[in-house]
């Protein structure tokens, strides 16, 4: 159960970072790279866009891998892990073994007048 919680937390963190990296990018080549256009910049506009694209792809692939790992380590127990519907189906009474009870009401005049 602890490993599943760890994977779930990692998935949430990757999702947040992926959302942020996509929002920083601009589809026309601007975004974060356009805001830093100083001449003495260490990373140029093109290198920033390349870094953001590689970070986005890395985060997307890691999200896929973590999701696959998370689905493999979902905690599955015995009887306590089953749903209540499955337990009710297993404990259901067979309809052929239920006794037939009378369904008609006795008439009012027949029982007391004799």
Residues 6 or more apart whose CB falls under 8 angstroms from that of 34 comprise 26, 45
Residue 66, Cβ neighbours under 10 Å: how many?
18
How many whole angstroms separate alpha carbon 61 and alpha carbon 26? 21
Range with the lowest mean pLDDT among 1-10, 46-55, 86-95, 105-114?
Answer: 105-114
Alpha helices in the chain (DSSP H): 2-24, 32-35, 45-72, 84-90, 108-112
| pLDDT tens figures, 56-90 | 999 999 999 999 999 998 877 655 656 788 878 88
| pLDDT tens figures, 4-18 | 899 999 999 999 999
Between residues 105 and 37, which one has the greater pLDDT? 105
How many whole angstroms separate alpha carbon 1 and alpha carbon 80? 14
What are the boundaries of each domain within the chain? 1-26+39-74
pLDDT of residue 40: 47
Highest-confidence segment of 1-15, 44-58, 96-110: 1-15
């Amino acid at each position: 159960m602890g490993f599943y919680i760890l994977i779930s937390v990692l998935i949430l963190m990757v999702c947040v970072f992926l959302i942020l990296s996509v929002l920083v990018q601009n589809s026309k080549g601007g975004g974060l790279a356009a805001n830093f256009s100083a001449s003495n910049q260490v990373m140029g506009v093109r290198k920033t866009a390349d870094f953001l694209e590689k970070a986005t792809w890395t985060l997307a692939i890691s999200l896929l891998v973590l999701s696959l790992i998370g689905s493999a380590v979902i905690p599955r127990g015995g009887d306590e892990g089953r749903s209540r519907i499955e337990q009710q189906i297993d404990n259901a009474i067979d309809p052929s073994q239920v006794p037939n009870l009378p369904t008609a009401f006795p008439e009012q005049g027949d029982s007391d007048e004799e």
